[in-house]
Amino acid sequence: MNIDSRYDIGFTKSAIIFNEAAINMPTVVAPVTDYTPFKYSPWGGKENNQLPYQMRTMIEGCGVLSAILNAQATIGVGKGLQPFILKNITADGTEEVEWLNDTEILDWLEENDMYKMALDFTFDKMAYGWRTGSFLLNAASDRINKVVRKDVFTCRLGKYNDKGVIENVFISNNWDKNIGTQTPEPNGGQLVTVPALIEGFELDCLNQVRDSKDPRTEWAFIDRLKRNGRQYYPTPLWYAAKEWVKVAMSVPAQKNAIFKNQILLKYKITIHKQFWIDKVDSKWDALEPDVRKAKQDEVYNLIDGWLTGTSNAGKSLFTGSFTVPGDTQPTDYIKVEAIDDKFADGKLLPDSSAANVEICIATLMNPAFLGAGSVGSATHGSQSGGSNIRESLQTQIMMQEQARKEVSNIMNIVKKFNGWDKKYENQGRLVFRFQSSLLTTLDTGKSTKNENL
The ranges assigned to domains in the chain are: 51-240+390-452, 265-338
**Alpha-carbon separation of residue 76 from 45, 120, 123 (angstroms):** 31, 11, 10
What is the separation of C-alpha 423 from the centre of its chain, rounded to a whole number of angstroms? 44
CA distance 348 to 20: 15
User: In sequence order, what are the beta bridge partners of 158?
Assistant: 40
Compute φ and ψ for 194, nearest 5 degrees: -120, 125
- The band of 236, judged by pLDDT with boundaries at 50, 70 and 90, is very high
More confident residue, 445 or 428: 428
Res 149 pLDDT > 90: yes
**pLDDT tens, residue by residue, 35-78:** 567 788 888 865 578 899 999 999 998 888 998 999 888 888 88
pLDDT tens column, 241-282: 888 888 888 877 777 666 666 666 778 888 888 888 888 888
Mean pLDDT of 405-416: 92
Cβ contact 354:380 at 8 Å: no
Q: How far is CA 168 from CA 42, 64, 158, 171, 192, in A?
A: 14, 35, 5, 10, 10
356 vs 2: CA distance, rounded Å: 44
Contact residues for 20 (Cβ-Cβ < 8 A; gap 6+) = 257
What's the CA gap between 32 and 181, in Å, rounded?
A: 6
**Residues β-bridged to residue 431:** 84
Helix (H, G, I), strand (E, B) or coil at 98: strand
Confidence label for 29 from pLDDT (cuts 50, 70 and 90): very low
Can you tell me the mean pLDDT for 183-212?
Answer: 83
* Dihedral Cα 190, 215, 148, 413, nearest 10 deg: 140
Half-sphere exposure of 364 (CA within 13 A, CB side): 12
pLDDT value for 127: 93
What mean pLDDT comes out for the span 173-185?
63
Is the pLDDT confidence value at 23 over 80? no
The CA–CA distances, whole Å, from 313 to 13, 306, 317 equal 21, 9, 12
Q: Cα separation of 431 and 85, whole Å?
A: 6
Q: Closest by alpha carbon to 363, among 46, 131, 75?
A: 75
Residue 439 has pLDDT above 50, yes or no: no
User: How confident is the prediction for the chain on average, in pLDDT?
Assistant: 79
Quote the radius of gyration of the chain (alpha carbons, Å). Answer: 34
* 298/305 Cα distance (integer angstroms): 11
Residue 14 has what pLDDT?
A: 35
pLDDT of residue 316: 72
Confidence of residue 355 (pLDDT cuts 50, 70, 90): confident
Query: Is 249 or 309 the better-scoring residue by pLDDT?
Result: 249
